[in-house]
Structure 1
Amino acid sequence: MLKDDLSVSKTARRKGSEKLIDAKKGSHIRLKEREDLSIIQKKKRKTQSRRTELEKLYGGKAYVGLRIPDPDTGSRENIDIVLVTKGEAVVVSVKNFSGFVSVNGDGSWVSESEGRHKVEVHPDPVEEAKKRASILESYLEQRGVALPEGYISYKVMIPNPKFRMPLHLYNDVPWNWGALILICFTLTNECKGGCLSWWQKRDAESINQQLNFILSTAPIWDRLELKGSKFVLGEFIEFKGKQEDTQILRYIKRSKVSHLIIQKTSMFGLAPSRLQVLYSFRDYRSEGASTSEWNEVTVRSSTEVLFQPGNSNKVRKFKLSSILSMSLSA
């Protein structure tokens, strides 16, 4: 009898320790997910900040988070920023490299963090930006815009003040914005002068209007706005929750809806565990949503949104109660 009690006690302790280990693993996974989300949110804020700085510095209009179809692979290529001015369209690739950077024989970049001896290898960002510029050019031509040769250029923006690079790798004079460093690589050496002289002879305004219309309607990432001024770019998958709630939300599809807002119920008699979802139907006659009419449904606050962040292969779950708004790409 005593042996049986000891055996049961050992089994209980073992199961207890296993639960503790599982709990620690779960905690570690949740911590890793929070870190991944934090990185996504920081990148989003930095990219939006870079867009504002580019518009102020060069004028024109900047488009962020484009997903341009690649005619060769059928997949979509992610472009951080496209800056459209009267003289050119610039594909800007934003990289947060830090430390001293060298270049391997195959073109890849190797960054070594100062003091940490942490070495990271990155694909050639210049070639990446060049490829994206080529894909954008093909996309614009497919949409009916005839571009002059050399009109599209590409740049690699490295805003990290801890970035260090050998001077012989600069193809253009870098601009310093305080602690920010912008390294410029143009598609052709004559691009700037050639574009400007060509545009002096043509009606640049007409093509500019075409470009702005096409880029404003080009595919982009879906966007979640979370509480605490946090944003996540990625792809909306679906709603999860009670069947009653998912049935109510079944009309919210990207083909029909462009924007929705989540807010607490204010109607008398409704439990605080329910949320109002306001959504507007997509207006294809103009850019974005039609704000003339908002539709409203009420669902449980436990309803979840399945969303895949742009730089992750994992689908994340977000409580509807943690979301302020969601924008859906067409």
Structure 2
Amino acid sequence: MEELAEDFYRRSYSHASFLRLSLQKKEALVGCCVLVSCRLRNWPVAMGSITCLLETDPALVGGVYQELLKILDVDVPKTNITDILEAHCREYKLSSADVPEELAESSKDLATRSVALVELAADSWIVTGRHPIPIMMASIFLSWQSLKPTKTRLKYSLNKFCKLSKMPMNKTALTRVAEMKEVLWKLGQELPWRRVGEEMAPDDVLRNVADILQHRYALLRAALQTHEETLQTHKETLGTGIQPSTEDLRPEQGELKSVTGDSDEEDSLAPAAHWGKRMLFAPPCVRHPKIRRVDTAERADVNGDEEISDSEIDSYIRTPQEMRDYVQTQHALLSEDAQSKGE
């Protein structure tokens, strides 16, 4: 593999497109040659890993990588996040030799549970357009907690877990953990053996991850059906002007509080202008669309220092008729107050 990467580097470095490069781009070129070699040999290496090793801009590495593929004219097989995940799990130091037995977990079990969580995240649009490293870290963290949901593991935060496993923490992974927990919570509400009227706590979600993943397709259909019925009921109650009672609605049909503390479900029940707010599962760009800035054209002839004309001043002064009406209204109000106090 080293010889293949060196060969790619010699061929690309002598090309006209890479003759005059900065030192940063030359380092990115070396990393891209290694990445191409790994993918040709079916080594699951992510571009984010190369970027972290080089400590450079991901956009820069991506641009150099695309240009390198055109120059070398090689057909690199596309890697799936689930393929990379198995290799990524081995980087976490969670064996019994590294951590206490209560916190130890095999990389094989972590990979199996993490792959299932990533597949569920893909079905609920969490993976769409997202960087793989935060998603993999979030899935591994939730897998580690859910495989043995003891009080000790459930108390661990993502930051503490990364320190335990000797992995650098990715701040974006905190958001992915919250999003995955929210999806698991929504599906956990549809478990048939859950008590009616009982709301599932965040810790209970992690204890039921195995059941949720095993029946995730049926739970996804049930959650979507429940959400559509809730929207229809809410629309009918708004049309009649009657406020829906909490007794008639199931807990997940009323005001929902997600495990992240967000109110996405409340926004989805409200008649939002954007259709993404009404969807239970939707791509991130649809659920949280960026508000485009509207540039208002300012009038060049108005600066705030203009003189006020007499007609504008007169428009703010009450006319004699308005003054008489005002005085009569004041007398009428005072007389009514006096009569009410006398009674």
When normalised by structure 1's length, the TM-score is 0.25
Q: Structure 1 or 2: larger strand share?
A: 1
Q: Structure 1 or 2: larger helix share?
A: 2
